[in-house]
Amino acid sequence: MLNREHTVVGFIGIGVMGKSMAEHLLAAGYSLIVYTRTEQKAKDLVKKGAVWASSSMEVAKKANVIMTMVGYPADVEEIYFGEHGLITNGQKGSYLIDFTTSAPSLAVRIYSAAKEMGIHAIDAPVSGGDVGAREAKLSIMAGGEEEVFDAVHPLLALLGTNIVYQGKAGAGQHTKMCNQIAIASNMIGVCEALVYAENAGLDPETVLKSITTGAAGSWSLSNLAPRILDGNFEPGFYIKHFIKDMAIAIEEAKQMGLKVPGLTLSKSLYDKLAELGEENSGTQALYKYWKL
């Protein structure tokens, strides 16, 4: 069990979700060191008591629990490995928690390299978007050694309400792929349902009152469909990051010899939107496909 008094948490990646997650740690009384490529993004956290670090290496040397929430597998690779990486510079006995959705194989590499250095590592991708991060209601899917998961669970509990140990290193990332596969086809259904309602002359908001609580109910239908109707396409989760996740899932499925037609279709639609300049919009902007 980690002692709060002697725990210094490092948080790398202060984006749409990372900032809220870091705020919860501060609010709980933990000492917090933050690093992100754009220092301005950490300004509010510093005002609330966080300490700014100039590099991931500085975080590694000062924090004994380090959380990362960045954009792409390449970012994870850069932060964890190499001369200035977390594994090379981390304290023996420290804990590394990667919340980034990344390749399961990379999670296994991080776990193995960290263990050689006497450092504990788990992959713990999350789901719930900006709302889940802001309300500390994220779903957290963890892979690694169970005793390490148990040790950091009190910290994870400050960020989410559905925290599940999935198995050995990489299992968290594989579970997140299942999550993204389910969302991919569901988002098509959500958008098609709204477009159908409009073309049938129905009031989409009234339609949602009926279908969100029935068998068609889903998180996307309840949380993202209202944003679509409000014309709000700001990111709770970026299209560009969703495309990255789908590409990982498709590659993993290919290695298993598994066909994923729903996922493949969804990625093709999002690829089209990205080509049209919507890569920084939220995933609910898929609705715009039917307005082209």
pTM: 0.94
Q: How confident is the model at residue 39 (pLDDT cuts 50, 70, 90)?
A: confident
Q: How confident is the model at residue 37 (pLDDT cuts 50, 70, 90)?
A: confident
57 and 84 Cβ atoms separated by less than 8 Å: yes
Q: How confident is the model at residue 1 (pLDDT cuts 50, 70, 90)?
A: low
96 and 119 Cβ atoms separated by less than 8 Å: yes
What pLDDT sits at residue 40? 84
Which candidate, 89, 102, 114, 116, places its Cα nearest to that of 35? Answer: 89
Question: Percent of the chain having pLDDT more than 70?
Answer: 100
E strand segments, 37-91: 51-52, 65-68
pLDDT one-digit tens code per residue, 171-192 = 999 999 999 999 999 999 999 9
Chain-centre distance for alpha carbon 220? 16
Which residues are part of the catalytic machinery?
A: 176
Query: Measuring CA to CA, how many Å separate 109 from each of 71, 75, 112, 144?
Result: 18, 14, 5, 11
E strand segments, the chain: 8-12, 31-35, 51-52, 65-68, 95-98, 120-123, 126-127, 138-143, 160-167
Question: 282: how many CB neighbours lie within 10 A of its CB?
Answer: 22
Q: Which domains does the chain carry?
A: 4-169 (3.40.50.720), 174-291 (1.10.1040.10)
